[in-house]
């Protein structure tokens, strides 16, 4: 049996799929058309459209290959189906407070979806590793590049089913 891959939310997987479909169905055919047109214009060594097009096509093909491998490896986990909602697991939105009573709300998502500016932290981030399995009232020490910091879990929420 294949081991379970890294988790991703259904919305995160949909974004990866949309990016893949956009590259394959729209961007790549446009570049192929430009390269074909440019190739018919003679000397390819000095043809900017041809050279740029070939380079862009290689970039697109690399990204398509990466996305295909990534989507195959990931495991879609729907946070709405979480049964044990009193503890922090994948998909939880957690409000935490530090020693100075500064509150911060974060949502635990797949590593491919993380965006700190939106409060989305990846499954393998140090903060997530420290919070996994915590309940309201638990204190957790997080090792950050700036040093250790203690956080108290104030609230845990999951999306409704």
pLDDT digits (tens, 9 = 90+) for 127-139: 999 999 999 999 9
Residue predicted with more confidence, 14 or 146: 14
Report the SS3 class of residue 62: helix
pLDDT of residue 144: 78
Question: pLDDT of 72-101, one tens digit each?
Answer: 999 999 999 999 999 999 999 999 999 899
Report the SS3 class of residue 40: coil
Using only C-alpha atoms, what is the Rg of the chain?
22
The token pair that represents 68 in the structure block: 């295909």
Residue predicted with more confidence, 106 or 41: 106
pLDDT of residue 30: 93
Taking alpha carbons only, the member of 74, 72, 83, 70 closest to residue 6 is: 74
Q: What whole-number percentage of the chain has pLDDT above 90? A: 75
Q: In which band, very low, low, confident or very high, does the pLDDT at 1 lie, cut at 50, 70 and 90?
A: very low
Average of per-residue pLDDT across 144-157: 90
**Range with the lowest mean pLDDT among 1-10, 17-26, 48-57?**
1-10
Q: Is 146 exposed, middle or buried (0-12, 13-18, 19+ CB in 10 A)?
A: exposed
Q: Is 27 exposed, middle or buried (0-12, 13-18, 19+ CB in 10 A)?
A: middle
pLDDT of 3 strictly over 60:
no
Average of per-residue pLDDT across 10-25: 96
**Range with the lowest mean pLDDT among 35-39, 63-67, 120-124?**
35-39
Question: pLDDT of 111-126, one tens digit each?
Answer: 999 999 999 999 999 9
Q: Where are the alpha helices (DSSP H) in the chain?
A: 10-22, 28-39, 48-73, 126-131
């Amino acid at each position: 049996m294949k081991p379970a891959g890294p988790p991703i939310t259904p919305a995160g997987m949909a974004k990866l799929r949309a990016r893949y479909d956009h590259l394959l169905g729209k961007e790549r055919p446009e570049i192929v058309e430009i390269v074909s047109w440019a190739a018919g214009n003679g000397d390819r060594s000095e043809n900017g459209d041809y050279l740029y097009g070939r380079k862009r096509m290689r970039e697109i093909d690399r990204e398509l290959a990466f996305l295909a491998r990534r989507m195959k490896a990931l495991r879609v986990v729907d946070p709405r189906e979480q049964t044990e909602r009193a503890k922090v697991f994948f998909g939880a939105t957690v409000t935490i407070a530090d020693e100075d009573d500064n509150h911060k709300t974060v949502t635990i998502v797949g590593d491919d979806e993380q965006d700190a500016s939106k409060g989305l932290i990846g499954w393998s981030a140090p903060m997530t590793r420290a919070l996994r399995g915590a309940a309201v009232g638990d204190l957790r020490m997080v090792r950050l590049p700036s040093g250790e910091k203690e956080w108290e879990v104030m609230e845990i929420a999951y999306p409704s089913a």
